[in-house]
Amino acid sequence: MIANTKLTVPESFPPFSLSRLLKTVFNPTAGERVAILIDLKDPHEIKDLVFLKDPDLTIQRHAYEVFYRGLKNGVMSKLGLRGGEMFAYKITGGSNLDLPDLAVAVDGTELSFEKAIYPNYKLILCCSTYSATAPLTAFAKKYGFRGATLHGLNQVILNSGLSVDYEEVSANAEKLRAGMTRADWVEIDFTYGGQKFTLCLNLGRQEAQKSHGLCRGGPDVANLPAGEIYYVPTSASGQFPLKFEDGTIGLMTVKEGRIVDSALLKGSQRTIHEHKRKVQSDPATGELGELGFGTQLLPFSGRDIQDEKVLGTLHVATGRSDHLGGHLTPSKFKDIKNATHDDILFAPHKTPEINVPQVRMLRDGKIEVLIENFQPAAYMVELLQ
């Protein structure tokens, strides 16, 4: 519930309910077949559930204990669903890279996704290490199924982001979408080490889109937890700091919608050189393919899939954008292994060295402040009333 005064994260959430989640998100009809997908270094380790012996595979364990067993232990019968099988595929190694066609069932049977799974299931739930939203969205449109991607699943997400009322999430997302759609541009101010940088993303007065968790119509894939307003920029220019996985912070220079250069601010010069070499040798990897804003009052989970949905955070993404309505498909990358969609999240817990003092939007001839210091500004708060 959005409060009338200061917006704060609720102290508690309803207990997680798989049947409530699936009923709300999909509103499935009786007889629809459901399947669960997981990723493993060796997909054959799904046979006889061998992968459960590895304590590091927490995402896949949640997929088994919460979703697979939950479906088998009453949820399928309650919702009138059939199937409930679980399949593994080889881990892709990157966000939104195309999935291999080989799937392995719990009994060790090898199957083709395109021949045996995509055409024969109406609901597909993917609990994986790396996001599979882009490839599954493309296959959903081709084969007519609906689905949800839940990469990075952990206990915090189960207890909060997947326990909320998605009717309410959807309603709040629409309030923000309606007040942010058809914007001319968004400017983001960043500060790091006493320096200030600004990135301007041109939006061309496009209709803003929402990730709101409801997937009840035609073929589509929901990204759960949901709660996001997003655009595919028409162009971009300026500079912004980027924090790499090894802690290195680089300054990205953006021209005509793409990162064209990077300079070291802190950390490893080698990391910067490798990034620069990648965007120069395969320019599509540096294209800014998304601008997103969180819409939910949620705790930070340590996983971007939930943390980018927190109100007051924002993210830009590089690379593949076809699943968002953009033009950048895997075929436009020089190396298919580079055809990822990589979110760059700015949030106080994720990028404490980088502040975002202000985010501004030009819409209907008026500049509105959206975010200040990772807090929703008055304009966003009022939209949610």
Phi and psi (nearest 5°) for 146?
A: -115, 160
- What pLDDT is recorded for position 211? 97
- What pLDDT is recorded for position 4? 39
Please tell me the distance from the alpha carbon of residue 58 to that of residue 121, in angstroms, as a whole number: 25
Band (pLDDT 50/70/90 cuts) for residue 3 is very low
Q: What's the chain's length in residues?
A: 385
Q: Considering only the top CATH level, what class is 18-159? A: alpha beta
- What pLDDT is recorded for position 116? 98
| Local structure of residue 193 (DSSP, 8 states) | T
The predicted model gives 119-143 an average pLDDT of 97
Band (pLDDT 50/70/90 cuts) for residue 123 is very high
Complete edge-to-edge strand list for the sheet that includes strand 110-112: 110-112, 102-105, 82-90, 33-40, 123-127, 146-149, 220-223
Q: b vs e for 150-176, b when ≥16 Cβ sit within 10 Å of the residue's Cβ?
A: bbbbbebbbbbbbbbebeebbebbebb
Radius of gyration of the chain (CA): 21
Q: What is the pLDDT of residues 38-90, one digit of tens each?
A: 999 999 999 999 999 999 999 999 999 999 999 999 999 999 999 999 999 99
- Alpha helix (H) residue ranges in the chain: 18-26, 58-62, 69-70, 76-79, 133-143, 155-159, 166-180, 269-281, 304-307, 378-383
The structure tokens 């580079």 sit at 338
Selected residue with higher pLDDT from 7 and 70:
70
- For the chain, the maximum distance between any two Cα atoms, rounded to a whole number of angstroms, is 61
Question: Mean pLDDT for the chain?
Answer: 96
Domain residue limits, the chain: 18-159, 166-383
User: Are residues 252 and 188 in contact, defined by beta-carbon separation less than 8 angstroms?
Assistant: no
Residues 361, 289, 166, CA angle at the centre, nearest 5°? 75
Q: What is the pLDDT of residues 277-333, one digit of tens each?
A: 999 999 999 999 999 999 999 999 999 999 999 999 999 999 999 999 999 999 999
Dihedral of alpha carbons 125, 131, 137, 139, sign: negative
Q: Is the pLDDT of residue 381 over 70?
A: yes
- Give Cβ neighbours of residue 65 (< 8 Å, ≥ 6 apart): none
Q: Is the pLDDT of residue 1 over 80?
A: no
- What pLDDT is recorded for position 217? 87
Band (pLDDT 50/70/90 cuts) for residue 7 is confident
Dihedral of alpha carbons 264, 267, 273, 277, sign: negative
| Cis status of the peptide bond prior to 225, with omega within 30 of 0 | yes
What are the distances in angstroms from CA 294 to CA 129, 243, 309?
A: 21, 19, 4
Q: What is the pLDDT of residues 355-364, one digit of tens each?
A: 999 999 999 9
Band (pLDDT 50/70/90 cuts) for residue 2 is very low
Q: Which residue from 385, 298, 297, 278 is spatially nearest to 342, judged by alpha carbons? A: 278
The predicted model gives 229-237 an average pLDDT of 98
Please tell me the distance from the alpha carbon of residue 244 to that of residue 290, in angstroms, as a whole number: 18
* Strand, helix or coil for residue 339: coil
Looking at beta carbons, which pairs linking 41-45 to residues 24 or more positions away fall under 8 Å?
41/90, 41/91, 42/90, 43/88, 43/89, 43/90, 43/102, 43/103, 43/104, 44/88, 44/104, 44/108, 45/88
Q: Which residue from 165, 129, 107, 143 is spatially nearest to 37, judged by alpha carbons? A: 129
Q: Is the pLDDT of residue 130 over 70?
A: yes
Q: For the chain, count helices (H), then strands (E).
A: 10, 20
Please tell me the distance from the alpha carbon of residue 29 to that of residue 17, in angstroms, as a whole number: 18
pTM metric for this prediction: 0.95
What are the distances in angstroms from CA 48 to CA 45, 61, 105?
A: 8, 14, 9
Orientation angle between helical segments 18-26 and 166-180, nearest 10 degrees: 40
Please tell me the distance from the alpha carbon of residue 39 to that of residue 60, in angstroms, as a whole number: 7
Q: Is the pLDDT of residue 109 over 60?
A: yes
